[in-house]
Structure 1
Amino acid sequence: MLYILACGMVFFPGLFCGLRKVLKSAFTHWSDADVVVVSERLVSSVHASLATVSGVLVVNTCRDVMNDRHWLVNSFVLFGAPYMAYDLYAMYLSHYHQQRLINNSAAHQNHSLQTVKAFLSKERLLVFHHMALLLVFMPIVLFFRRDLGDFFIACFWMTEFSTPFVSLGKILIQLGLENSKLHWINGVMVLCSFFTCRILLFPYMYWMYGQQFDLPLHSVPFHLPLHCNVGNLSIMVPQVYWFILLVKKAHRLYRRKVKDQGPKQE
């Protein structure tokens, strides 16, 4: 158990540091902020891909959604836990370098309590999300669920399917390709994958539970303990909020593109 945890503690920060060195050498005109942002996004995509593949493997193996076990569940939770702690630091580092880039006059500014507070204020929802996964989700999975529900744990991993597309969008902007066809196609994939794997996934899990116990979908919540419904709701609500933000952003970009093109002059 400790060996798997140690592997995660080495892998994610090590990959981040390695990518920073490679990108710094390959893109010498990039600022420290550019390098950190892209490195963070690439590591995030790697973690998301591992989580998605693990989730698919477990979901396809479990026939009994409540009682079937898979060795990968506890192992990946331990391996992925250090990622949450690392990603908090990487997000803060990205925020710090971006602020230094924006405030050129404060380029000498060092890390301080003020910079940490500014980061926590700006990214409070993401910070809360990471801390909840690390301090609540992980202990529940490892110690308090009585070896039940590997299927549902794997379903939650599959929510990460949209993350590489989100990261690719930001990397394309970083490369100056925000007006390319690839960026437009990727934006469509972001919306489709996010809606499918982060919102429709919840009724899917309830439907699968109903299929096993011969219950109609609408009655499943009334056959589950209250804490299960509350837990699912607390996870789903931020996903809906982020999806709305994505839709609004996509709509703004579309309107801007139409406005920029304008009516063709004869």
Structure 2
Amino acid sequence: MFHALVCGAVVFPGLFYAFRKTLKHSFRQWSDADVVSVSERSFIVFSYPINLHMNLPYPIVLCLHIINVDWVSHWLVNGFVVFGAPYMVHDIYAMYLSHYHVQRVRGQSRSYSSHSLQTVKAFVCKEWMLILHHLALLLVFMPITLFFRRGLGDFFIGCLFITEFSTPFISMGKILIQLGLDDTRLHRLNGIVVLLSFFTCRIAIFPFMYWMYGWQFGIPAHKVAFHLPLQCNVGNMAILAPQVYWFILLLRKAKRLYQRQKRGKEDGSKDRPRTD
């Protein structure tokens, strides 16, 4: 476990600082805010293939070998949880750096002349939900996985890993905007992938887990919740609620983008000279 923790502590910060140095050298016209923001997103995009390579087999393999959703286990689960812990810690730090430099560019130079308790407080107030999400994974999800579940429920842990599948696509969308590619087919295609992957892996995965549990034990899907301990249902709802909220925000953003592009096309067709 210690080796996994050390590997995570080296890999994730290393990726972030490598991207930060490379982008600063390659895009000299970018501000510190641009460099840190894209570095944060690039670090997420390129670190997730490592995560997905490790966590995708869990639910797939355990679904194909349905012996028991409670008792089937995989030796790599605990190791992956420990390996991913430094990612959660460093991502909070990277988000803070991005927030700090963006606020400086937006004219908050007096308040953000240097790092202080005030800048940290402003960051926490602005990004409290994401910070809470990361801390909950570190302080609640990780201890339960490592110490309290007694080696049971790897199938459900694997399904919870899958909820992060949409994250690199969300980050990729923000990188494309930063590069001025927000009005391209690639950005629109990425947006569709974001919506589909977010809904499938962060929302639909929860009724799927309940359905699988009911299928295993011969319980109708609508009665599964009544056969599970209260803390399991409360925990699932606590994880699901912010996912639904973020999905609604994504839908609103997609609608605004679609309307903006539609207006742009209409304005372009009006300005186009007649050929008849």
Q: What range describes the TM-score normalised by the shorter chain of this pair?
A: over 0.9
Query: Does the aligned pair in 2 maintain the 1:54–1:154 contact within 8 Å?
Result: no
Listed as ranges, the matches of 1:12-161 within 5 Å are 12-62=12-62, 63=66, 64-103=68-107, 105-106=109-110, 109-161=113-165
Question: How many residues align structurally?
Answer: 266
What 5-or-longer segments of structure 1 have no aligned partner? none
Aligned equivalents of 1:200, 1:207: Cα separation in 2: 11
Distance 2:25 2:197 in 1: 33
Q: CA deviation at 1:210?
A: 1.1
TM-score of the two chains, using structure 1 as the length reference = 0.96
The 1-side partners of 2:25 and 2:50 are apart by 27
Structure 2: 5+ residue runs without aligned partners? none
Q: Structure 1's 105 and 227: CA in aligned 2 closer, same or farther, altered over 3 A?
A: closer
Coordinate RMSD, CA, aligned? 1.5
Distance, in Å, in 2 between the alignment partners of 1:104 and 1:149 is: 48
Residue pair 1:101, 1:107 contacting (<8 A) in 2 also: no
Matched residue type, 1:128: L
Q: Does 1:178 align with 2:175?
A: no
Task: Give runs of aligned pairs for residues 186-265 of structure 1, distance below 5 A.
Answer: 186-262=190-266, 264-265=269-270
Distance 1:92 1:219 in 2: 43
| Whole-angstrom distance in 2 between the partners of 1:224 and 1:67 | 16
SS of 2:56's equivalent?
helix
Larger deviation, residues 53-62 vs 5-14: 53-62
Deviations 1:7-66 (A, max 9, x none): 111111111111111111111111111111111112222343333333321123323211
Q: Deviations over 1:143-195 (max 9, x none)?
A: 00111111111111111111111011000001001111111111111111100
Residue equivalent to 1:7: 7
Question: What's the TM-score, normalizing by structure 2?
Answer: 0.92
Partner-residue secondary structure (3-state), 1:111: coil
Aligned to 2:115, the other structure's residue is in SS state coil
> Can you list the C-alpha shifts for 1:101-159, whole angstroms capped at 9, x where unaligned?
11175497000111001100000000100111111110110000111111111111111
CA contact (8 A) 1:5 1:78 kept: yes
Amino acid in the other structure paired with 2:113? Q
